[in-house]
Structure formats: structure tokens, C-alpha cells
Structure 1
Amino acid sequence: MLPLALVAVVAVRHRAVLAEGFGHLATARWPWLLAAVGVTCLTWVAAACTRQGAVVERLPGGRLLATQFAAGAANHLLPSGLGASAVNLRFMTVCGVPLARSSAALALYLLAESVGRLVLLGALLVVFPDALRPWTLLPDGFLVPLLLTLAAVVAAAAGVLALVRRVRAAVVAFLRTAFGEARSVHARPARALALWGGSLAFPALQATALVLVGRALGLGVPSAHMALAYLAATVAVALVPTPGGLGSVEAALVLALVATGGPAAVATAVVLAYRIITVWLPLLPGALTLGALVRLKVI
């Protein structure tokens, strides 16, 4: 809850910019917004492809796609993507994939999605090196505490692994299962293509949706720079444990768009419209779908 409280404080301090951003929403061009809605729907298809590519067994396509739509709603109940992970873990076990292999497939999906996002970000930074300075997305004096926190977490995890034999045995068994699952998946070209193709398509489609919203609101920033801003912002806030990135993603996106040369008020309007399309509009139907899948024992 602490990140949400900090975002609320920032929102109150910059309420004038937020109000002006809401005012700009009335000037949006609807064809671009409808295109952004269509691209957002394609992100669930990309997520379903990546999920299928992470397991050897063939998953039922319709139920897999519906599960990805429902997982988006569950993702806003728990921090750091735990909601979507729980839904997909349950779905795979119901489909007959053993729990150990389902967990390994989930880890492979998360790894592939992270690699895909970083690859796209790195490629855009190489092509457009002067479009954005990623370190501007972090507050002043934030880097050292972040590194110290990460070092403390790594040291604590290493200490637990060294001292607790049962935990060490469980981790070794999981890694063995995960590597075995990864080898099995990559032994099948269709699965490997679905895994890595979907992991690249998913963030690319998300960035495309932001670009379309930017065009709808007349944000004077090149499309490639907007895509770069989106990827940099989402990577920068990946360690902030808010449900669905609520608050942290909005703040980082506004900062990133302003860093690429966009006016603050218009950038705020773009981020608000983007989050309405990608988060708030699908939330209620996603929650209803989640409830239906639970009642039908799909998950």
C-alpha cells in the first residue's frame, strides 16, 4: 500500500496538471482510440501464444485465451503479477499438467516475457540513443537504496539456501524441473516459436497501443520514441510491487513521455486514456469472465 500512498501524494501535489490532462481527453480522435482498443485485444492473443509455448502439452485454445483475459482482472488484486500467475498456474494444473511442471512453465513464461521486453528496449535504445535517458525515470538518490535493497535480498536468499536444507533441496528440484521443461519446449520448433514470438509481440503490442493513444491526443512525439518511453517506463517500475502497476506505471509513463519531449498535460492525458483502455475498461468483463471460469471449473 505504501507505493499507492506515495502516488496519491504526488497526484495531489500535481492536481493542476492532472485536471488539465483530463480536460485534454475531450479532444481525442476516436478512430485512433478504437485502433488502440483493437491492439489491446491482440495482447491477450500474444499472451496466450506465449503461455502455450511454455508447455509441451497442447492447451485448449479457447479456454486458454479466456484465461488470459480473466488473468488481467486477477492481476489487479495482487502485486507484481501474482494474480495472473495464480490463475494460469491453476489453469495448467486443471488441464493435467503436474504442479511442478506448471510452475516451471510459469517461470519460463515470466523469463521469456522479461527477455522480450528488454530486447525490444535495447534495440530501440541502439537505434534512437538520444531519444530518452532511462535514468531520468528514477527519482534522485533512488539508485543506491535500490541496489542496497537488491543486495540485501540476494544475500538473505543465499543465506536461507545455505542454512535450510529442505529449502535448498526444493530449489534444486525446481531448477532441475525447469531446465528439463525448457529443453523439452525448445526441442519443438512450434513451441519455441510461440514462446519467443509471443514474448516479443506482447510488449510490442502494448507499446503500439500507447502510440495510437498518443496519436489520438496529438502528442508531438515520434512513434518510435513513444514506444521507447513505454518500454523504459515498464522496465523501470517492474520492481515496484503495486497491484497491476497501479499508480507506479502511470507516474513512470508520464515522466518518460515528458523526457522524450511531450508536454506534461498532453502526456498525462495520453497515459490516462491508455490506462483506461488497457486496465479499467477490461476490468469488469475480465472479473466476470474470471468468475465464470471458476464456476465452470476451468480454473
Structure 2
Amino acid sequence: MTPEQVLAKPRRRRAYWHTALALAVLAAVLLLVRHHWPVLETGAVRLAVADQGWLLAAAAATLLTWPSAALAQQGAVPRRLPPGRLLAGQFAASAANQVLPAGLGAGTVNLRFLIRCGLPLGDAVTAVAVKGTAGGIARGAMVAVLFAAFPGVLHLPHIGGGLLVVVFTTVTVAVLLLVGPLWPRCRRLLVTTGRYIRAVHARPARAAALWGGSLGFVVLHCAVLIAVSRAVALPLPPARVALLYVAASSAASLLPTPGGLGSFDAVLAFALTAVGAPATAAASAVLGYRLLTVWLPLVPGFVVLGTLVRRGAL
């Protein structure tokens, strides 16, 4: 048996587990849809007669999300990338993200794009990881700021000190057992990654693009949901809608469904109704957001993806 075949077995096993978990989540979502179908149907009707001006504003914010993603990816790479292909790659990555779990679709497209642009494999992987980390930090910063402004919206569970000690000890032991034997390699990887991050931040324009694009991407998605909520007359303040969106998208990212399909929708709808929004208005807002950010761009995104592959850009 070759080394490639030996390494392929664990990867195949992980793929089976991810697929099984994703199917289980989707099955649960289908049951919820069946149970709440009258509310969803009413929400769709409400969306059809929504305010067209706010829907146009939501569509405009959606169109700006891809330039923001392209700006963030350029900021994670010291060398200049071709802007047209970079923007097309982000549009294609958003479509690929809807068929692979846990953000693997977008990461794979960006990785192949950077390699085609001449980056070594290690630098390309680091650049994709830096962009993803910056996006997570930007999302966390928004949660912190909005939570401070609206402390009563999210009800965090009370966790005792004893439980925290047990969790911290368990995580520490697990990290030591897993990382300990591999520490020399991990140390080299951390040194290489740190050197790459310093090289990016040594150029103020790149650092501004990385963090500005990452924050802009999250803010624009919040703006899409806010505009849709205004269109369907959802009776919640915009900042509160933004907080619920960021919290729901962060929670849904823990489940390996493609593009958060089902998990994000259920969490966001539940969060909106939990703070007093009518169920039909919440369903309309979620449906409108998904329609603009996922379903309408999906087919054009796959067309762009196929074009980039045929032209050798991916």
C-alpha cells in the first residue's frame, strides 16, 4: 500500500462523518420546515409584496460583498493579484461554498486561485488561513461591540467556575497530548506563519485591505438582512438585527452544513422571534436574505466557476 493510499483512508473517513452529520442536520431542518410550513408560506407571500426600495438596497449591499471579499483576500497576499480574476474568484467561491461543508468550498477555490497566480503552496494555504482568521476576528469584534450596546438581547447561559476549570483542564490535556509529539513541526509552522503575517502587515495598504475587507464583508451582510427586515416591516431596531445576524451566523458555522444551509436559517429565525419579532416577518426576512445572498447568485456563480476552470485560472 502506497503512502498516498494510507493517508487517503483517514481523509475518506472524515468525509463520511462530515457527510453523515450534514445529512442529519438537513433531515432535522426538513422536519422543522414541514412542521412550520404555514408560517413559511405566509412569510413568502409577505416577501412578495415587500417594499421594493428596501429590497433594491439589500440587493446593492449584496453586490458589494464580493468586492469586500476580494479586498480581504488581496490584503492577505503581499504580491499584487489580478483584480478582475480575483473578484470573479470570490464570486465563484461563494457558489462553491454552498455545496461543501464548513467553508471548504470557498477555501478550495481561493487556494487554487492563489496557486495559479504563482504563490507557493505553503504561502497560498497561509493566505487563505489569514483571510479566514481576520474574518472571524472581525465577526467577534462586531459581536462584542453590539453586545455592549444591547446587553439584553443575547442571553448567555450561566456557567459555574467548577465547569470552567474542568473544561479548561480537559482542553489543555488534549492539546498537550495531540500537539506534544508534533511540537517541533508546529513550532516551525508557527514561525513561518508569523513571518508571513509580519510581511503582510509591514505594508500598511495590505493590512488596511485585509482588515477593512473582512469587516466590510460582515457589515454588508448585516446591511442586507437589515434592508430586507425593513422591506418586510420587521419591528426590530437595525443594530439589534445586526447583532442577531452575527451571533446566528457564528453559531451556525459550528455545524458542517454547506453554506450553513438550514442551520443558519433555523437559528436566525429562532433568534428573531425570541426577541419579539412576529414569526411570519422573521420567516420573510430570512427567506429574503437567503434569496439575495445564496439562491439568486448560485447559478451565475457556478457559470463563473466553470469559466475560470476552463481558462486555467483555477
**1:171-218 deviation digits (Å, cap 9, x = unpaired):** 333322211110001111000100111111110000000000011111
Number of residue pairs aligned between Structure 1 and Structure 2: 287
Aligned partner of 1:102 in structure 2 is: 124
Where do residues 1-299 of structure 1 align in structure 2 (5 Å cutoff)?
1-130=23-152, 132-135=153-156, 158-163=176-181, 165=182, 168-299=183-314
**Contact 2:134–2:210, Cα closer than 8 Å, also in 1:** yes
- How far residue 108 of structure 1 moved from its aligned partner, in angstroms, is 0.8
Q: State TM-score, norm by structure 1.
A: 0.90
- How far residue 230 of structure 1 moved from its aligned partner, in angstroms, is 0.6
Quick one: which amino acid aligns to residue 262 of structure 1? A
Q: State TM-score, norm by structure 2.
A: 0.86
Alpha-carbon separation, structure 1, partners of 2:37 and 2:223: 28
Q: Which runs of 4+ in 1 moved over 4 A?
A: 148-158
**1:73-117 deviation digits (Å, cap 9, x = unpaired):** 110111010000000011111111111011111111111000001
**Contact 1:104–1:177, Cα closer than 8 Å, also in 2:** no
Give the alignment's Cα RMSD to 1 decimal: 2.3
Aligned partner of 2:10 in structure 1 is: none
**Contact 1:116–1:199, Cα closer than 8 Å, also in 2:** yes
Quick one: which amino acid aligns to residue 179 of structure 2? L
**Contact 1:18–1:265, Cα closer than 8 Å, also in 2:** yes
**Contact 2:147–2:154, Cα closer than 8 Å, also in 1:** no
1:261 is paired with a residue whose SS is coil
Range with bigger deviation, 253-262 or 272-281: 253-262
- How far residue 158 of structure 1 moved from its aligned partner, in angstroms, is 4.6
* Aligned residues with identical type, % of pairs: 46
Alpha-carbon separation, structure 2, partners of 1:210 and 1:114: 19
Gaps of 5+ in 2: 1-22, 158-165
- How far residue 160 of structure 1 moved from its aligned partner, in angstroms, is 3.6
- How far residue 260 of structure 1 moved from its aligned partner, in angstroms, is 2.8
2:259 is paired with a residue whose SS is coil
**Contact 2:74–2:209, Cα closer than 8 Å, also in 1:** yes
**Contact 2:126–2:193, Cα closer than 8 Å, also in 1:** yes
Gaps of 5+ in 1: 137-147
1:85 is paired with a residue whose SS is helix
**Contact 2:101–2:257, Cα closer than 8 Å, also in 1:** yes
Quick one: which amino acid aligns to residue 161 of structure 1? V
Larger radius of gyration: 2
